[in-house]
Structure 1
């Protein structure tokens, strides 16, 4: 059987299962999610052994530290994945929720009801936890899922899928609802791009190369996620001690994720006081600083920044730093280079804070807080399937509600149109 035939077969099976999922009761879905969580913990030895195969291959292939961190599974991370599924089980079930019901003059009642999207295709890199997170969210929202993880995590993804699918089907989820494309051949991705007959949406989760490839080549509708060239602007009216703590957290707490800060903007009036100590702390944390001429003059050991640095999502211990002359210049820089993910201002000036929130175009905007909070769990949404940086359908962390659509329903008693 060819790669195309294998992918189509899996998509067909998911599409068939989606019909049953759309009408599945909440209790069955929740019991399945809890069983999947227990299965992850009960099968930890098997999953971690398979993950070590991927880690070994990753080291041999020269994956950087940030990617290796994304790839790694531990007992603690498996427990977090399991608890994420348990948390999703506690969410209200959005399917069947009726909104905006109105009675027309002729007596016909017209309203909207939330329904599943249908079959969701996920194309993602490195993180095997996405396999469980995405599956749990899709099932709770009544969707079947077709997963295509990166080649670097193939053994981990196969193990996680095998474990959770077996538990889900045993608990009453329609067989075929959880599908993993097990070939690492890129032809499989090309096939997914054209599966309009079976896939209702594609969600890419990974670096800019992956996301752009999906957006530019897919005929299946795409929800764009996650490239994060995130900025933090330190205003001249900022609490500098607080600003230092926020900067350290935004850059070093976990640099290989999309909500980590990649560019630091500092007002020129405080640069001489703020930057030397700030940069020293970052350098002590092994962060490479790439700065403009002013930063290089104020602090030693700074690499020159070029135009590419302002638009780069490093996902690493590298930070671009620029001194700017005021609020408006900071906002202009952000608008020119950001990816509409997460942006922050550190200031004690209420009016600047409000203006920043109003005019900066991003999925999440913060005042006096780290960009690292852009996360489904941190927002109280539980596990997320990704962070949408587009404006249609969903924006920001996407959880259960964002994996639904609506349809109109009409209740009548014999009305006909004249």
Structure 2
């Protein structure tokens, strides 16, 4: 059987399983999630051993530390995956929710209720925890899932998916509610994207290249999870100590995540006061600065520990996912907003300003209203763009598009709705 036939056969099995899963009760789906969590803990040694094979191969390939960090699993991370599945059980059932109800002019009772999408395909890179997260969210929302993980995590993904599939079957659901494409042949991803009518939606999670390829080539509708060229803008009214702490957290909490700040914008009027301090703080955490002329001058004033190179035009549009940051000085909120809207990826953007002053409050309101992004912050770190932090529970990604889902999306975004109509013999003239 060729790759295309193999992928199609797998997706058809998932479609069959989705019918049974959609009819399962909320309790049955929660039982499956609990079984999945228990199975991960029971098989933690097998999962970690499979991951060690992936880690060894990745190191031999010279994979970066940021990617290795995403790839690595240990007992604590496997337990965190299990805990995330258990937390899903505590969330409300997103299915069969009555969204609207009324009696039509002809006496027919109309009700709009939430239903699953059907078969969800998730294409992702070297993050094996996504295997459990995506499977759990899909099962909770009544969707069968076809998982296509990156080749770097092939052994990890296969081991996790097998554990989850067997756990679902152990409580009476079809094993194929969780399906994983195990071949490392890249043609499998393209084959999956062609299955319009079998796969209902495709969700890419990864770098800009993967997302662009899926958007441009998929015949299956795509929910676009975005890259994160996120900004922190420090207004001239900002409390500079607060601003320093926000910048350091947004950049350095984790370098390899999509909500990390990649560009710092600072009002020119406070640049010489603020930048030496914040650049020194970033340097303590190993961050390389790509600065404009003013930023580079301030880097010299900050001391020898600050590494700074002249920024190019490309730096303003770069998602580093590494200990690097671009720094630019701007003349006020209008220029900052224009820069963010030109170079940002519509993910997460922040302003730091004094809301108690007229100028600061006006800048905040302008920034929040005019910046085009899924999440906009005033006086807080971009690191909070996360489904759990937003009170949404486990997320399947951060959407930077505007149709269907935007920002952290989880259970509700994996449902659609249908109209249920009850009559007593009405016919239309």
Q: Provide, for residues 327-347 of structure 1, a one-character-per-residue CA deviation record: whole Å limited to 9, x for no partner.
A: 000000000001000000011
Q: Which residue of 2 aligns with 1:219?
A: 219
**How many residues are treated as equivalent by the alignment?**
418
Q: Distance in 2 between matches of 1:193 and 1:162?
A: 23
- CA shift, 1:226, in A, is 2.4
- Whether 1:325 and 2:331 are equivalent positions in the alignment is yes
Q: Which residue of 2 aligns with 1:230?
A: 230
- Whether 1:189 and 2:200 are equivalent positions in the alignment is no
Q: Which residue of 1 aligns with 2:59?
A: 59
- Whether 1:397 and 2:403 are equivalent positions in the alignment is no
Q: Provide, for residues 131-155 of structure 1, a one-character-per-residue CA deviation record: whole Å limited to 9, x for no partner.
A: 0000000011100000000000001
- CA shift, 1:128, in A, is 0.3
Q: Which residue of 2 aligns with 1:313?
A: 319
Q: Which residue of 1 aligns with 2:295?
A: 295
- Whether 1:337 and 2:340 are equivalent positions in the alignment is no
Q: Which residue of 2 aligns with 1:178?
A: 178
More displaced stretch, 105-114 vs 7-16: 105-114
Counterpart secondary structure, 1:263:
strand
Q: Distance in 2 between matches of 1:360 and 1:414?
A: 53
Q: Which residue of 1 aligns with 2:116?
A: 116
Q: Which residue of 1 aligns with 2:31?
A: 31
Counterpart secondary structure, 1:22:
helix
- CA shift, 1:5, in A, is 1.2
Pairing partner for 2:393 from 351, 361, 382: 382
- CA shift, 1:90, in A, is 1.1
Q: Which residue of 1 aligns with 2:167?
A: 167
Unaligned runs of 5+ in 1: none
Assess if the C-alpha contact under 8 Å between 2:141 and 2:414 holds in 1.
yes
- Whether 1:356 and 2:367 are equivalent positions in the alignment is yes
- CA shift, 1:197, in A, is 2.5
Q: Which residue of 2 aligns with 1:272?
A: 272
TM-score, L = length of structure 1? 0.99
Q: Distance in 1 between matches of 2:281 and 2:105?
A: 69
Assess if the C-alpha contact under 8 Å between 2:166 and 2:175 holds in 1.
no
- CA shift, 1:217, in A, is 0.3
RMSD of equivalent CA atoms: 0.9
Q: Provide, for residues 375-415 of structure 1, a one-character-per-residue CA deviation record: whole Å limited to 9, x for no partner.
A: 11111111111111100001011111110011112111111
Q: Which residue of 2 aligns with 1:76?
A: 76
- CA shift, 1:354, in A, is 2.1
- CA shift, 1:350, in A, is 2.2
More displaced stretch, 73-82 vs 337-346: 73-82
